[in-house]
Amino acid sequence: MLAGMNALRHRLRTAITVVALFGASAPAPAAVAVRSARATPVDPDTAAIIAAAQKAALAAVNFREGDAAGFARARRDFTPEGWAAFLKPMEPFLDRDGAPTLTSTFVAAHDATLVDDTRGVLHLRIPGTLTQRNAHSATTYSPAAIEVFAIRNHDPGSPPMSIQRLTQIVCVGASTACR
């Protein structure tokens, strides 16, 4: 049993570098205080896209063991390639019906920081604490962060953005990547 738990913990730690973080719900777009890693102020349209991306990212990574429908609901906020990339490291932790075999919670330390905005792709970072648990154990990673790459949608009737890539980071020591 101990060997099995250690193997599961190792798989979780290995996957954690590419598995999305699991989040609490984000504040409404008007309540998101946009932080920018650059000195340039963020325009209102970009701020709205950042708020939507933060809300979608946190919703995507907030799921419970056995909740296939809740887990799949996040798909609408991803590009097809982004969703496929999000699922890839999750495959060992999904049952045959697509339900997660673990529960994870990400608590954001503060709102998303705009790291970069290049050619319509917004790079955001959301720092916080990640907790993953299953029937046998629980592990908390702090500090941690979600890296989000969101593209602007210009099609009428579509959401303002789609997640192109969602990755989690677990920081060790004095690393600043999770701030």
Binned at pLDDT 50, 70 and 90, residue 97 comes out as very high
- Helix, strand or coil, per DSSP, at residue 31: helix
Contact 59, 144 (CB under 8 A): no
Q: What are the residues whose beta carbons fall under 8 Å from the beta carbon of 151, sequence distance 6 or more?
A: 79, 120, 121, 122, 161, 162, 164
Structure tokens at 35: 């932080």
Q: Pick the residue with more confidence: 106 or 13? A: 106
Asked if pLDDT for residue 158 goes beyond 60, the answer is yes
> Does residue 26 or residue 138 have the better pLDDT?
138
Q: What is the mean pLDDT of residues 109-131?
A: 95
Whether the per-residue pLDDT at 81 is higher than 80: the answer is yes
Residue 151 has pLDDT above 80, yes or no: yes
Instruction: Compute the distance between CA of residue 49 and CA of residue 153 in angstroms, rounded to an integer.
Output: 9
Going from N- to C-terminal start, the domains of the chain cover 2-170
Question: What pLDDT is attached to residue 3?
Answer: 45
pTM: 0.77
Spell out the alpha helix ranges (H) of 22-126.
44-60, 68-72, 80-87
Answer whether residue 16 shows pLDDT above 70: no
Domain 2-170, what fold?
Answer: Nuclear Transport Factor 2; Chain: A, (3.10.450)
Upper half-sphere CA count for residue 37 (Cβ side, 13 Å): 15
d(CA 133, CA 67): 14
